[in-house]
Amino acid sequence: MGHAGSKEALKQQDEKLFALRHSAAHVMAQAVKRLYPQVKLAIGPPIEDGFYYDLDLPMKLTEEDLPKVEAEMAKIIHEHHPFQQSFMTKSEALTRFAQQGERFKVELIEGIADTQVSLYTDGEFVDLCEGPHVASTGEVTAFKLLALAGAYWRGDEHNPQLQRIYGTAYFHAKDLEAHLQRLEEAKRRDHRKLGRELGLFSFEELAGPGVVFYHPKGARVRWIIEDYIRSVHLARGYQPVGTPHIFRTDIWRRSGHLEYYQDYMFLFEAEKLPYGIKPMNCPGHILIFASGLHSYRELPIRLFELGTVYRNEKSGVLHGLLRVRGFTQDDAHIFLREDQLVEEINEILDFAFEVLRAFGFAEYEVELSTRPEKFIGTPSSWEHAQDALRRALEAKQIPYVVREGEGAFYGPKIDLKINDALGRSWQCGTIQCDFALPERFDLTYVGQDGKPHRVVMLHRALLGSFERFFGMLLEHYAGALPMWLSPVQAVVIPLTDQQGAYAQPLAARLREAGLRVDVDTRNEKMQAKIRDAQLAKIPYMLVVGAREATQQTVAVRHRRDGDVGAMSINQAIDRLSKEAAIGGTT
């Protein structure tokens, strides 16, 4: 009872915060309208951690304008206007907002099915709104405007581009201050900033947006992750495959991607034939499976590929490594009998949690997404697929949230979301159960009766996009990657040129032990070399001077713990090797 009560209290608290932020959005729009009477209002909803309002203005706002809007908001809050709901017929509302030139509100009203619409008034400000709100503007005390952005009306690039103001609001100033501190910490951890500072990757204007260039250190981290992922897949019975980057569009038409995913595909012609660059790896794996006969005894067949795919994301939504046009997935497709489904899904869940723990993630959320409005296959096959996913989760007693209508167009899915050091949730692994594509491609196995039977197909990724996962890792660890993932695990720092004869053989011994080691031979002072190694987030600094060279030792420093003392070479190798074991988080 205590747990249920706490969940209900949390829900009520969230609803109150939702109402507060909704009210703050109205106050912000009211303030903008006072300052810029010519503004036309679009929408202003509360969102996770805050609110925004989309506005059509004849001039472009800048960050310097936000304090002015905040000051006007403070006046409105001080005036204590009550939020009052009223109703108007749809035709009256259309006339009213049309007379005011509020064309976005008119469009919204035209889309309302009811014969009457809800309005909210506070002071002179009236907005189309269903609520809820707090009692008065006087309750919106702890707020902050955060940023400006562009946004197309209704998310359609063919519509007018509006100006969006983001803000946040809390009931108490201390909660607002804590949130602002989290935002500052998030800025410090921004993977784009860290990528530049640590020399890991870049985006090159000449090459176009959304494609990543991995520099030597970044590519080394990619290799480390890829080597680990390959090894654990082989250990679990997955078979490696490789598929082309381009296919004739016939296969995309047959799979349904051309119908359901065409806007996100790069399409072109070669020798008068239409082709598409692959946005997903599944059709390639299907063709490999379909190239031979398979007995029921062989199933499940698990095909795995580090497959690079390309999606025609709009440039406005691209965001560092987190949203790109070209990315690599740890992609697998499993072909199996229907009676094997629940057991195989459970195997994948165990596998996913093992891999996520190796990267230092122990907290996660699970979602089950069901049939969307546009789908292929039959409703009954979707029910079978959803039931298999649900039974697997319940067999392992894994709590989950149902996301109605958010499945892939070919099947329902389980999504795994991990929580990072700042408590943020990140989409990672996915398991999708598919009866539809095996039907479209006539995928069968030979059963005990010697007759062909339809296979079921599981689509699955554990890390998802390597690019996105890399960006998330950088933010989670603030750039200080665990020892086993660090591109350079130790740097040998000779005090003078005279110790170079000792530093190089020392580094060679460490490399022979499997450690990734550099030697800093620059003509700089020791303190500068240590500082630069700290800034580069290198886990260990091995300082060698005349005494260390004579005694065949090293002075060991850790990036977090500082000086940890002098050690023999063997002791240093032993300590570093233990910390470099896969799954270590130091």
- Which residues are known to be catalytic? 282, 311, 329, 331, 333, 413, 459
Residue 294: exposed, middle, or buried by beta-carbon count in 10 A (0-12, 13-18, 19+)? middle
Q: Within 10 Å of residue 496's Cβ, how many Cβ atoms?
A: 11
- CA dist list (Å): 345 to 303, 316, 388, 395, 512: 15, 36, 8, 10, 41
- CB of 51 closer than 8 Å to CB of 169: yes
Question: What 3-state DSSP class applies to 214?
Answer: strand
Residue 317: exposed, middle, or buried by beta-carbon count in 10 A (0-12, 13-18, 19+)? exposed
Helices (H), 165-299: 173-188, 191-197, 216-235, 249-255, 257-260, 282-290
- Determine the residue type at 428: C
**502 vs 506: CA distance, rounded Å:** 6
Which among 500, 542, 496, 553 has a CA at the least distance from the CA of 517? 542
Residue 166 token pair? 């983001």
Q: Within 10 Å of residue 125's Cβ, how many Cβ atoms?
A: 19
**55 vs 40: CA distance, rounded Å:** 6
Instruction: Quickly tell me which residue has 């006072």 as its tokens.
Output: 34
Which among 56, 17, 28, 20 has a CA at the least distance from the CA of 127? 28
Q: How many residues does the chain have?
A: 586
- Determine the residue type at 466: F
**488 vs 516: CA distance, rounded Å:** 5
DSSP string, 120-165: EEETTEEEE------SBGGG--EEEEEEEEEEEGGG-TTSPEEEEE
**457 vs 438: CA distance, rounded Å:** 7
- Determine the residue type at 165: I
- CB of 33 closer than 8 Å to CB of 55: no
Residues ≥6 apart with Cβ < 8 Å to 422: 182, 185, 186, 189, 475
